[in-house]
Chain A
């Protein structure tokens, strides 16, 4: 992974001799260079941390690369994890266009998974394609309404959306636990309370020739659609205006409330789709395993991608790779499974601190 990051660095620095180039692309280069520098810094600090723990940091980097991108198997593992991350990152990135900080993607994912599972269980016996479409719709509506709740509370009651969305994560988890241990419980699930299985025929399966499930395609389509929506439609323009200056948006007559609710619904729908994908491609049923932290890692992905829907794709693959390498770090280096969480936290801190660097790197300013 480090090798890849460095090559991007080199590409950014090489044409520095031409000032016209920098004038035109200086800002774009910054958007690539600074997050990469933050990543390298975070990896270095994590290496030092692991060295203090008595492990060789070079081994660490090797196994991280190997476990994430070293073999075809690890690539497939990485992409499988990247799929829900793309979707949960959109749950933070879309409201961010309006200046809102939503961190409740995990809750929308759980509600989406519950809704999708319920739809599948209600339609047992129907043609698989009908069940799958119903699951997608139910998952998106469930997750969408969950985040719309945060958006609506912000718009109509002035409740801070960051806190309300996080509280809703815990409430969603309680609802999920309540339902899988009560009304929706499969009597056959003894040790791990779960709902009944949605049925093998209704699973969405893998992309031909790989072990990567179709959820990745869902994520890619959603990210590109979100990009087009934000940067190439009037709706997206209105959202960005409202995010930049909410008073100006009101003065020019934009329906800010409607914008907030719609964007929150779309954001939650993405995370809900992630929940549907986890059910229909991985778990096959709903249980507490679904609260695997994809929603929280998604926040990091969105910030690292600077809330840009297309940039989310490579960042999600990178973070998916880091979490895919977690197992190998555990087995080969004897590191605790939480080491992935530590690295994610360090990366997050570095990325936020690097915000201070924008517009301050001398040689990238162009005009001098």
Chain B
């Protein structure tokens, strides 16, 4: 049996496979949040957006039979939630962190409400590309069955890095994030820039949600996302608002999140729940190590309320 022949290698292999599989939602949410935060606003509601995205993707995929339509629907839902967040935050004296918490509750509630009839049926799932065809070991093949969304996410990270650095849009977003007054003096509407940045951020987070329901774990239920959205928001902070660092951090997180199930598959079950909490513990640990009370974080957009 192949299982016996690779023995303890199962764990690192499963962690690698998990790093690729589990990291995708982290990657999309953190890239989306990266855009939003670079424009000077924080959207804590992406947890709700993620769940809404997962639900709408599953629903549309089930109704239309096309998972890609589902992905699009998830993105649009996410963009609408982003618009809602940005719209409320445009009002005077409204705290963007509080609005995020509200949208987290609203998004989760709405997804559970509308998703009730979707728990039973099975929707068409996203296809995977088999990169492990050269291997005979089933675990290797399982680890290398990679979804196209992951590849898209990996491509978006350097694209975003380049866009922030060299394009007009990137400069506008960064200006709005560093100094709203400067952007205003240049004749741009800060609110409009932030609205667009939050909508694009929501779009990406929604797609991250579609991955949850349409590929891995690949079904819709109410326990689908347990804090991935909020972990991804924290991840942006220690990735220092750099899209490339978001990519590496997401991979590390995916690996950490896959540790629990991987250990369970080889018979280590005692600390199952604690291993499952490892992404949160890791996030907290990294934030403790990298933050400092004495200075603002390097790379932090100056307008961001969370670092002020």
Decide if B230 touches A345 in the complex (CB within 8 Å): no
CB distance from A147 to the nearest CB of B (A): 14
Q: Report chain A residues within 8 Å CB of B106.
A: 342, 344-346, 348-349
Q: For residue B284, which residue of chain A has the nearest CB?
A: A167
CB-based A-B contact count at 8 angstroms: 150
Among B21-29, B71-79, B129-137, B291-299, the stretch that binds chain A is: B291-299
**Interface residues as binary, A306-336 with B (CB distance below 8 Å gives 1, 0 otherwise):** 0000000000000000000000000000011
Q: How far is the CA of A340 from the CA of B106 in the complex (A)?
A: 10
Decide if A353 touches B88 in the complex (CB within 8 Å): yes
Q: For residue B90, which residue of chain A has the nearest CB?
A: A356
- B64-97 interface (Cβ within 8 A of A): 84, 88, 91-95, 97
Main secondary structure of the interface of B (DSSP, over half): helix
Contact status of A171 and B97, CB under 8 A, knowing A162-B44, A182-B270, A338-B116: no
**Interface residues as binary, B260-288 with A (CB distance below 8 Å gives 1, 0 otherwise):** 00000000001111101100110110011
- Whether B110 is near chain A, meaning CB under 8 Å from some CB there, is yes
Of B112, B233, B281, B287, which one neighbours A159 at CB under 8 angstroms? Answer: B287
CB distance from B221 to the nearest CB of A (A): 13
Q: How far is the CA of A153 from the CA of B101 in the complex (A)?
A: 21
- Whether A175 is near chain B, meaning CB under 8 Å from some CB there, is yes
Contact status of A157 and B227, CB under 8 A, knowing A167-B284, A178-B273, A348-B106: no
Decide if A101 touches B98 in the complex (CB within 8 Å): yes
Q: Report chain B residues within 8 Å CB of A8.
A: none
Q: How far is the CA of A82 from the CA of B122 in the complex (A)?
A: 39
Q: Report chain B residues within 8 Å CB of A177.
A: 273
Binding site for B on A (CB under 8 A): 101, 103, 153, 155-160, 162-164, 166-171, 173-175, 177-178, 181-182, 296, 299-300, 303, 335-346, 348-349, 351-353, 355-356, 358
Supply 27 A–B pairs (Cβ within 8 Å), ascending by A: A101-B95, A103-B101, A158-B291, A160-B291, A163-B234, A163-B306, A164-B287, A174-B276, A175-B274, A177-B273, A181-B273, A300-B105, A338-B110, A338-B112, A338-B113, A338-B116, A341-B108, A341-B110, A342-B113, A345-B102, A345-B107, A345-B109, A349-B88, A349-B102, A352-B99, A353-B94, A355-B91
Binding site for A on B (CB under 8 A): 44, 48, 84, 88, 91-95, 97-99, 101-103, 105-110, 112-113, 116, 226-227, 230-231, 233-234, 237, 270-274, 276-277, 280-281, 283-284, 287-288, 291-294, 306-307
